[in-house]
Amino acid sequence: MSEEEDTMLLLCEAYLQYNAKLHEARRDVHDALVEEAWRIAVRTRHYLTSQCLDTPCEAAWMTLYTCGHDHNFLNATSLTRAAFHRLLSRFSSFYYIPKPSTTGRPPKLRYHHQALGLVLCFYVGSMEQSTLCMLFGVPPSTLSRTLKRAEEALAQALDGYAPARISWPSPSRQTQLAKLVEAREPLLKHTFGFIDGKNFRVCMNSV
């Protein structure tokens, strides 16, 4: 084999290797672009902009807060209207809402009941972010910031708050509750409460 043939073989081998690496690089770039497009799609799937939302003062929560009855409040927040306002009076001491000024935009959620309602609806309903955005009329970024601050304020408000304590009902109260349960569910006798979704570790007898 002549020197020219050796050179041609080396060039062909180098060219084939170059093409293989180029194909692999193009495939990696394509995969990266597809992955990034998928991430963007996942992020924007539940993302809502302010333009497509009602203003917070016209959102569904304001209607519920203004006109809702006890059963509406129970469904949304797990509290009656009276219990909600008792908690709200304490919550307001721990959740700061800056006053409107000429130097900056006012906060989107301007009332304490909106912040408390947001965190309670989040806990009770396990709603998706987009649903909460529509319910309160705020974009996801505002919702996330408000929810974080509201959770911290609620934790402080519940600390030492007597109505929020966990206590065992007295025998007379157990009887009253059992009658209420039986009136609603006749098959449940002598039942005054239940725990759902708990996973307690149980000790077994070794014998």
- Three-state SS annotation for 74-104: HHHHCCCHHHHHHHHHHHCCCCCCCCCECCE
User: How far is 61 from 68, CA to CA, in rounded Å?
Assistant: 9
User: How far is 122 from 102, CA to CA, in rounded Å?
Assistant: 32
Predicted pLDDT of residue 205: 57
Angle of the 129-136 helix axis to the 112-125 helix axis, nearest 10: 150
The pair of structure tokens assigned to 10 is 């080396």
Domain boundary assignment for the chain: 3-45, 51-160, 170-197
105-129 pLDDT, tens digit each: 777 888 999 999 999 999 888 777 8
Contact 77, 61 (CB under 8 A): no
User: How far is 121 from 17, CA to CA, in rounded Å?
Assistant: 60
User: 104 has which bridge partners?
Assistant: 101
Q: What count of other Cβ atoms lies within 10 Å of the Cβ of residue 28?
A: 10
Predicted pLDDT of residue 114: 94
Q: Tell me the whole-structure pTM to 2 decimals.
A: 0.62
For the chain, residues with pLDDT lower than 70 are 1-2, 37-52, 101-104, 194-207
Q: What share of the chain is helix, strand, coil (3-state, %, to 5)?
A: 65, 0, 35
Q: What count of other Cβ atoms lies within 10 Å of the Cβ of residue 16?
A: 10
* Of the candidates 60, 55, 120, the residue with the CA atom closest to the CA atom of residue 91: 120
Specify the residue for token string 């709200």: 88
150-174 pLDDT, tens digit each: 999 999 999 989 888 878 888 999 9
Predicted pLDDT of residue 49: 67
